Amino acid sequence: MTTTFTSTTYASRRMRHRRPRHSAVPYLVPLVIWAGAAGVLGLWWSDTNAVVGPAGWLTDAGRITGLLAGYACAILLALMARMPLLDHTIGTDRLARWHAWGGRCTVALALAHTLLIIWGYSLASHSNVVSQTSTLVLHYPDLLKGTIGFLLFLMTGILSARAARRRMSYEAWHYLHFATYLAVFLAFGHQLSNGADFVGNRLAQVAWYALFLGVAALVAWYRFAVPVRRGLRHRLRVATVHPEAPGVVSVHLTGLHLDDLGGEPGQFLRWRFLARGLWWTANPYSLSAPAHPGHLRITVKTAGGHSAALARLRSGTRVWAEGPYGGFTANRRTAPKVLLLAGGVGITPLRTLFETLPDQVTLVYRARRAADLALRGELDEIATRRRATVHYIVDEPAGYSSPLTARALSTLVPDLAAHDVYLCGPPGMTEAAVRALREAGVPARRIHHESFAF
């Protein structure tokens, strides 16, 4: 089912002359992280005169992996502190991938540190590893707390594996990660008390305190203080809940100064609804309409327990919103032609971009059935106003279906390789679309997508 609308060109005055801003932050952040890791290795080097014998090699390898594991803990927390500078330029999902990769490295480093230190100390003291482990844990200062911290890290790493995550709700997985704060706190004391690179080295201690206290301040400010301050300022409440399609509802919210809260088209916020069963978690949902000073709207597919409960929200329910987050905005575009490719409820961030992008825009919206095309009336109205093209592709009935292939997309969108592509939909659809777009000649740097998958 393909429908095309053409009318006079439309773009808001706010967006018409805005040029995309390209930031160096995504390139500088990895350099800073690796420079810090080099500094940590320099700390070990400056404090080591010689490494002699198997016990010395094992112990010093344990020192290095322990230092790097401690440093990685600070980096992991900083990446997830929700700093706007990082979140808006790098993107939430990309930061999450860095965080996940760094988490695996941190667990591996902590495990290697534990095993190497025990082995090295047992060789030096001519004792077996069981006896040496007992001596270290029970008789070295703060090492019992460090052991508990290590076990918490290991538990979090195991439960964060993909096979385990599939069996967990988003809310359970989210709150599990609060255990890492306790793990970092416990491990921090152990490093300063037992680390050969810190004992008696005042400068190293001050630097380590500065690193962790700085990260703690970022986490406390952006993850706790800012949401509370904004909740008190904006006084968000649910106005109405409106069905859009089978299993899809829009939640309309009112409040004060909401244009300041809403951010840019394409971004999302984390919403905490102060209602029974919902108040204890904040879930990410994109805005499905540009922010208005007194009104916001999100559109949600009732797929899980939290999202299904939104359909039953009562008018007047208090809401706290954290954000905006994400880099899925007009600032990513590099070409004057843009394709918006949506699947299912993935239309929500693309609907705002469809209305506000000043470029030549084509929207391709895929769904299972025509009834599942949420917000279709609004999309038709926007297309009519702004000389845009919109294609609706449905799987049922089969006569209106179109495969998600390079050939099919190139037929719908001439000169596809010259477009920036904004992509949002279910994971399977997203993966297939990326393959098709790359096959059609669209450079990877022009394919923009963010995922809320955890």
Residue-wise pLDDT tens digits, 394-439? 887 766 677 889 999 999 998 999 999 999 998 889 999 999 999 9
3 band by pLDDT with thresholds 50, 70 and 90: very low
Alpha-carbon distance 205 to 198, whole Å? Answer: 6
pLDDT of residue 450: 78
pLDDT of residue 160: 73
CB 141 within 8 A of CB 194: yes
What would the pLDDT profile of 161-200 be if each residue is shown by its tens digit? 766 666 766 667 667 777 888 888 888 888 888 777 888 8
pLDDT of residue 123: 92
13-22, 36-45, 137-146, 308-317, range with the lowest pLDDT: 13-22
pLDDT of residue 163: 65
What would the pLDDT profile of 243-293 be if each residue is shown by its tens digit? 998 889 999 999 998 877 767 899 899 999 998 878 878 888 999 998 888
pLDDT of residue 184: 87
What residues pair up with 249 in beta bridges, in sequence order? 243, 300
pLDDT of residue 6: 33
Average confidence score pLDDT of the chain: 85
Percent of the chain surpassing pLDDT 70: 89
**pLDDT above 90 (res 217):** yes
The pTM is what?
0.77
What would the pLDDT profile of 134-146 be if each residue is shown by its tens digit? 888 888 878 888 8
Average pLDDT over residues 33-55: 90
Per residue, the 3-state secondary structure of 383-447, as one string, reads HHHCCCEEEEEEEECHHHCCCCCHHHHHHHCCCHHHEEEEEECCHHHHHHHHHHHHHCCCCHHHE
pLDDT of residue 207: 92
pLDDT of residue 24: 85
Neighbours of 21 (CB within 10 A): 11
pLDDT of residue 398: 65
**pLDDT above 60 (res 5):** no
pLDDT of residue 400: 62
Percent of the chain surpassing pLDDT 90: 41
What would the pLDDT profile of 302-334 be if each residue is shown by its tens digit? 776 677 788 889 999 999 988 888 888 888 888
CB 103 within 8 A of CB 75: no
